[in-house]
Amino acid sequence: KRTRIQLHFNRVVAVLKSSKVTTIAELRAMMIRYCRDEHLAQNALIGIEIALHKNNLLGSFFERILPDMMARGSRILEFFEGGEVVPLQPDDDGRVILSRPKCACLISLMFLCALPNNQMSFSSLLYSQQSYQVAKLQFFLNYFDRMSNYLPDDPPGFVTVTKNVLPYERYDWGGSKEPLMPFRVQSRSEICDNLEAMQVDFAHAEIGGGLLFRGCGEEEMRFCMAPELSLACLVCSRMMPNEAVIVTGAERFSKATGKGYMMQFGGNYVDPTPKAEDTSILSCMVCIDPSRFDKFQEKLMRLQMSRQVMQRECDKVVSGFWQTADTNRYISVATGRWGSGVMHGDPEVKVLVQWMAASECARELDYHLAYEVKERKFIQRLREFVSKMLEMEVTVGQLWDACQDLADYDVKSGSLFESITSLVQGWREQEREMEAEREEQGLGELGVHTPTGSFRGGRSPAASG
């Protein structure tokens, strides 16, 4: 029995195989035959015409690129039984492995507005004249230009989309004995340039965010530079607070310039990332979505450091950084101001969250932040804080306890690093005084008993969830 999806793709494949398109108007007419979308019906495809001119592809698009896209898209029923791409289920670990020709097939159908129910449709981009929307088309056209130079069953390798789910029970951060791992401030490079590390995607709960609409944040830019990342949008539902999505094997095809609404296509990029034995690209993107605050909550440290918020953020990040078969090879995590900016999270709190989670997973942290005038003081303070924490051999549990002790006080935004340093130094001094007192009493090597995860006495760690 043929499903509605199969009937849809039967029609799409028939149209793609029978059509010869030589103009933008003919492209729109072809898509209208299988796609019921008011944008296509009411608007000329001005956006793609501008993008083709900017990329100098207007001639080769109709001669080589578009025919290749249509040929790849028409293989949907060959690649997927009934045309169905089985999605990952909510709150359930799982993975989807796609050969890169299958990836090209799906991305072609996305661009041609040929997926069922207008899923992941490019229609709103194809007619837009906004510069950042046109830039998105330029990124994807560069990808298709590169793909058209491969044979139909190439390129080799696989893209894997994995969902990591942390059990709903709260993780026992205060009971952790793990030492804080090395932390490097990278002020001269960007996250996407750190080829040997897991790279953090400043994600939305809905993977991809506004990629095909008006979004122009960090996540949208990353997905434009490496279009195979967009397949996560197809197979993943909205992330739960205890979930993360990992995408491995996606190749970067383009450079980008500018930020936000000033984002622009920066030209072709040849990805130097090493390859695995099966020729898959050894890239790894960790999609984790931070809590969103409004601008009035940005300076409310008591809220941002509350146990509930910190628990959610740390659980979210550790679900992405956890050691798995796909990510064991990565020693470090490349990140930056995750959860700050438009999410209005305090940057110092988010540093601590990511450092604790990376250390709990035995990974080092590379923190990328442009060395601009406005950031110099923050970079200096961060480096001093990291140096003192490592010098005092602070554990994950102890850093968590310090955060919880300070959460009830009115710590000013912009002074958290110094407050934690002062608190931990006080604990150390108290520990030395108690040891000296015990030695005077002849207790010698007994020393001071410090409960797991805390410099202080009187509290044992809670049972791990």
CATH number, domain containing residue 315: 3.40.220.10
> 0.85 exceeded by the pTM?
yes
**Sign for the pseudo-dihedral over CA of 33, 38, 41, 47:** negative
Residues 199, 113 share a domain: no
220 as an active site residue: the answer is: yes
Q: Is 244 exposed, middle or buried (0-12, 13-18, 19+ CB in 10 A)?
A: buried
Q: Could you tell me if residue 163 is inside a domain?
A: yes
Task: Tell me what pLDDT residue 443 has.
Answer: 60
- The tens-digit pLDDT sequence of the chain (465 residues) is 468 999 999 999 999 999 999 999 999 999 999 998 888 888 999 999 999 999 999 989 999 999 999 999 999 999 999 888 888 887 778 999 999 999 999 999 999 999 998 889 999 999 999 999 999 999 999 999 999 999 989 899 999 999 999 887 778 999 999 999 999 999 888 999 999 999 999 999 999 999 999 889 999 999 999 999 999 999 999 999 999 999 999 999 999 999 889 999 999 999 999 999 999 999 999 999 999 998 877 778 889 999 999 999 999 999 999 988 889 999 999 999 999 988 999 999 999 999 999 999 999 999 999 777 678 899 999 999 999 999 999 999 999 999 999 998 878 888 999 999 999 999 999 988 888 888 888 765 544 434 333 322 332 223 333
Q: Could you tell me if residue 382 is inside a domain?
A: no
End-of-domain residue from the set 123, 154, 185: 154
End-of-domain residue from the set 371, 392, 426: 371
Question: Quick one: tokens of 100?
Answer: 């890169």
Catalytic option among 145, 201, 313, 348: 201
* Residue/partner pairs of 425-434 with CB below 8 Å, 24 or more apart: 425/392, 427/455, 427/456, 428/392, 428/455, 430/455, 431/455
Q: Could you tell me if residue 393 is inside a domain?
A: no
Residues 133, 163 share a domain: no
End-of-domain residue from the set 319, 343, 371: 371
Distance (Å, whole) CA 191 – CA 199: 6
Question: Quick one: tokens of 315?
Answer: 């659980």
**Treating both helix axes as pointing N-terminal to C-terminal, what angle do 396-407 and 347-360 enclose, rounded to 10 degrees?**
150
Q: Could you tell me if residue 194 is inside a domain?
A: yes
Task: Tell me what pLDDT residue 463 has.
Answer: 31
Distance (Å, whole) CA 1 – CA 248: 35
Catalytic option among 219, 313, 348, 401: 219
172 as an active site residue: the answer is: no
Residues 136, 184 share a domain: no
Q: Could you tell me if residue 398 is inside a domain?
A: no
Q: Could you tell me if residue 264 is inside a domain?
A: yes
Q: Could you tell me if residue 31 is inside a domain?
A: yes
Range of the domain at 36: 1-154
Ramachandran category for residue 362: left, alpha or beta (phi over 0 → left; psi -120 to 50 → alpha)? left
Catalytic option among 49, 220, 289, 366: 220
Domains contained in the chain, number: 2
201 as an active site residue: the answer is: yes
Task: Tell me what pLDDT residue 444 has.
Answer: 54
Distance (Å, whole) CA 279 – CA 196: 16
